[in-house]
A and B are shown apart, each in its own frame.
Chain A
Amino acid sequence: MVDDFQATTQFSTVLLFFFGAIGFGVISLFMNQITGGRFPSPSKLSTYECGNDPHADADIPFNFRFAVIAVIFLLFEIELVFFLPWAVSFRNLLFTTGWPAFFEMITFFFILILAFVYVWRKGGLEWDRN
C-alpha cells in the first residue's frame, strides 16, 4: 500500500502544507485588504523616521563584515553537510571498516579546526577591525 519510507510519499504531505501556508496567507491578507479599507494620506504613506520627513531612500552604507560572515558560514555549512551522513552511519561503519571509520573523520575534522583557527587568528571573526 503506502510505503512510508519513500521520500515522494513523505514529501507529498509537506507539499500540501506548503500550498496550505500560501493559501492561508493569501486568503487572510486579501481579507485584510477588504476589511482594512484604504484611506491614504501623504504623511501616512511616508516611511517612518521618528516623525521627521524621510531623508532620501533606505540605501544605507552596508557593513562589509556581514558579507564576510556569510562566506565563512557557507564554508562551515558545506563541512556540516559532509559530517551528517557520517554521523548517521558511524556505528555501521565501525562494524564494517573498523577503527578507520573514526580516524578518517577525525582527520577531516581537524582540517576544519585548522581552517577555523586560521580565520580566527587572522582576524576574520573580529567585528571591528581597528
Chain B
Amino acid sequence: MKLLEWRVRRVPVGKISLILGILAFVLFATWKIWALTGYWSLEPAFDSIRNFFLNLRDKFGGPGELPMGLYNTIIITLKLLGILVVLLLIGAYSTLMERKILAFMQDRLGPTRVGPRGILQPIADGLKLLQKECIVPLGADRNFHYLAPVICFIPALMGAVLIPFGKGLIPVDLNVGILYFFALGAFGELGIFLAAWGSNNKYSAIAGFRAVAQLVSYEIPMAFCIMSIVLLSGSLKIGDIINAQIEGATAYGGLGFPIWFIVPQFLGFLIFFLSAVAETNRTPFDLAEAESELVSGFHTEYTGLRWAFFFLAEYVNIFIGASIITAMYLGGYAGPELPFLGITLSSVVWFCLKVFLIFFIIVWLRGTLPRLRVDQLMMLCWKRLIPIAMANFLLTGIFVFANTVRLTPQLWPVHLENSAYTSIAAIVFILIAMFGLAWFFAKDLLKPIKERDA
C-alpha cells in the first residue's frame, strides 16, 4: 500500500499526457483510415463481431448460432462504451473550452502550459484529481456522501441514450422521447439533495435547498415549451421532432413546409434556453454554487474524483441540454450535405456546430451577466417565464387548430352538424365567462409587478 502511494504520488503528469496525446492521435489516424476506406456506419463493425463468433462456431464446433439477445447485448455494450468515452471527452474538454472562451472574453490566454496551447489540460486535471485524498468530514452521513456523486452521474450517462448525434445515430429513439429527460431530472435532484444533506455543512445545506427548489421550479416553463413543440410535431420521439422540421410533411404532423421550430417558436426557444441554463445551475442562475456566498455550494465538502463527478455531470448535462435545444428548435442534425463528407458525417458536423453555438452562448452569459438573488430567481420563473410559456402554449394550440382546420375541408364550419354548433356555442360561452374571471384577477395581479419594477 505504501509503495503504491509512493509511486502514484510521483506520476509524471507531462509524460503521461504526452503518451495519451500520441494515443489519441493514433486513434484519430485509425479512424481516418477507416473512414477513407468508405465505411461510414458502424454496422460493418457489428457484423464483423457476429462473423467472428460464427467463425468460432465453424472452427471449434461451438454452441450453434449465437443467441440474438446475447448478440444485441454485445452491440449495446459496445455502444455504451463508445458513448461513455465520448461523454468523458466532452465533459473534460468542455472545461477547457469554457476556460479558453472566458479567457478570450477577458483578454487573457487561458491554460497554455500542458501540451500545445493547453490542449492536454483536462487530462492533467483528471490525473491530478485521481491522486487526491477522499475526505468524508466528521458528522457527515457516510452513505449519502459516497452515494451522491454516483447518483448525480447516472442521469448524465442515461440522458446520452437520446442524443441525436447524427442522421440515424440516435442510440435509442424512445417512444416517450422527451419526457424521459424530465424523469432523469428527478435523479439529479435526489443526488444534489443527498450531497447537500450528507455533507453536514451549512453552506452545502443552503445550496442544496436552493438548487432543488430551482430545478423543480424551472422544469415547469420548460415543460410548457416542450408541449408547444409536441403540438407542432405531433410526437414525443426525438427523431420525429427532427423529421418534422426537416420534411415539414403533414404526415409527421408538421406545418406543411420545412422550417426549423425556432421560427414559429422563438418565444419558446428563449424561455427554454433560459430554463435549460437554470436547470444546469449556470451563471446567472448559479445560486446553488455561488462562490462568493456559499463557498462551492453542495459540493463544498467533496474532494478528488468524487468532486470531479459533480463537474463531469454538470458539463455533460450542459451538453445534453444543448443537444435538446438543437433537436427541438434548430433542426437537430439538419443541414446541407458538405463536400467530401458522407450524409451521416455531415449531419454529425452540423449537429456539433449547433451544439457548440449553444454552448458558446451559455459561456458568454457566464462571462457577461451578474448573479441573481434567490427571490429574483424564483420571481423570474414563477411570475414571468411560466405565464409567458403558458401564453405561448395557448397561442401554439390555437395556431395548430386553425392551421389544421384550414387544411382539412371536412373540419370547416359549413360541414359541421347542428349538434356540433350547440356544443361549440356552450363551450364558447364558458370560455367567455372564464376570460372574464381571469381578467378580473389579472387586473389585480398586474399592480404589484409594476410597483416592484418602478
Contacts and interface: CB of A to CB of B under 8 A. Distances in A.
A and B touch in the complex (CB under 8 A): yes
Contacts of A87: 227, 230-231
A80 B183 CA distance: 13
A93 to B, nearest CB: 10
Contact of B304 (A7, A32, A77): A32
Contacts of A88: 230, 234-236
Contacts of A18: 154, 158
Main secondary structure on chain B at its contact with chain A?
A: helix
B175 A47 contact: no
Interface residues of A, number: 82
B157 A60 contact: no
Given A25-B149, A60-B205, A80-B223, A105 B397 contact: yes
Contact of A20 (B80, B253, B375): B80
Interface string B291-335: 000010000110111100100000000000000000000000000
Given A20-B157, A91-B253, A103-B427, A58 B199 contact: yes
Contacts of A46: 137-138
Interface residues of B, number: 106
Interface of B: 4-5, 8, 68, 72-73, 76-77, 79-80, 83-84, 129-140, 146, 149-150, 153-154, 156-158, 160-161, 171-175, 179, 199-206, 209, 212-213, 216-217, 219-220, 223-224, 227, 230-231, 234-236, 253, 295, 300-301, 303-306, 309, 374-375, 378-379, 382-383, 386-387, 390, 393-394, 397, 400-401, 404-405, 408, 411, 416, 420, 423-424, 427-428, 430-431, 434-435, 437-438, 441-442, 444-445
Interface of A: 1-2, 4-5, 7, 10-14, 16-18, 20-22, 24-26, 28-29, 31-40, 44-50, 57-58, 60, 62-63, 65-66, 69-70, 73, 76-77, 80, 83-84, 87-91, 94-95, 98-100, 102-107, 109-111, 113-114, 116-118, 120-121, 125, 127-128
